[in-house]
Amino acid sequence: MDNDAIARRFYRLAALMEIRGDDPFRLRSYRNAGEAIETWPAPLKTIAANEGVPGLQTIPGVGKAIAGKIVELLDRGTFDAWERITAETPATVLDLLEIPGIGPKTAANLHQKFKVSSLAELKKFVAGGGLEMVDGIGSKTAERIKETLRR
């Protein structure tokens, strides 16, 4: 697993946490770690193998907890926090953010209130006229979402 893949996992974790309404400080720390990891010149795999958690902690934004998650991710391909969050909020909810007009708050609303957690479910929801019931989606945004889903 390369640095980009590790960074992407932390970005996705932060996005899921934002959709869930989790602590903004924690999700910001995951985003900051993702940014640092993404641009770090040395492979984290090498640092973890040679220096372990203390070596990873030399990266700005990577504390002991995040360094532990990196080691876990490198060893197992996942980490416990990711597994816990995706058990409650499927990672497919993140696909909703790819639709223009759907941001974290709208994705959270769609998932929590209407149980929409994938693009397939969103298509069914839209086909059934569900967008009219979603707070914060006006007619222009609804039309943009419908158009994107048609393509």
Domain of 56, CATH number, reads 1.10.150.110
Number of domains in the chain: 2
Side-chain half-sphere CA neighbours of 131 within 13 A: 19
| Contact between 5 and 43 (Cβ < 8 Å) | no
Range of the domain at 34: 3-88
Q: Per mean pLDDT, which of 41-45, 101-105, 114-118 is the most reliable?
A: 41-45
Q: Are residues 95 and 84 in the same domain?
A: no
Are residues 11 and 70 located together in one domain of the fold? yes
Q: What CA–CA distance (Å, rounded) separates 72 from 146? A: 40
Q: What per-residue confidence (pLDDT) applies to 112?
A: 87
SS3 33: helix
Instruction: Tell me the whole-structure pTM to 2 decimals.
Output: 0.83
